[in-house]
């Protein structure tokens, strides 16, 4: 099984801040969790696109 990539804390912090500025931002904890999930999803999508293009 593959090891899952984890975004670094600074990237999560920046994304959580961006989410907090949106109309649909939530609590700091919710924004942190959402930021982490968005960054993982973006990484996974890029990874899949690279595989398909290879």
Report pLDDT digits (tens) over 8-54. Answer: 999 999 999 999 999 999 999 999 999 999 999 999 999 999 989 86
Tell whether the model's pLDDT for residue 1 goes beyond 60.
no
The predicted model scores a pTM of 0.84
> How much is the pLDDT for 54?
66
Q: Which residue has the higher pLDDT, 18 or 2?
A: 18
The structural domains of the chain, with segments of one domain joined by +, span 9-53
Q: 52, 32 in Cβ contact below 8 A?
A: no
> How much is the pLDDT for 2?
61
Q: 12, 47 in Cβ contact below 8 A?
A: no
Rounded to an integer, what distance in angstroms lies between the CA atom of residue 47 and that of residue 36?
Answer: 17
């Amino acid at each position: 099984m593959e090891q899952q990539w984890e975004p670094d804390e600074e990237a999560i912090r920046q994304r959580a801040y961006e989410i907090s500025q949106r109309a649909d931002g939530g609590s700091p904890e919710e924004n942190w969790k959402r930021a982490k999930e968005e960054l993982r999803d973006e990484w996974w999508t890029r990874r899949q696109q690279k595989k398909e293009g290879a």
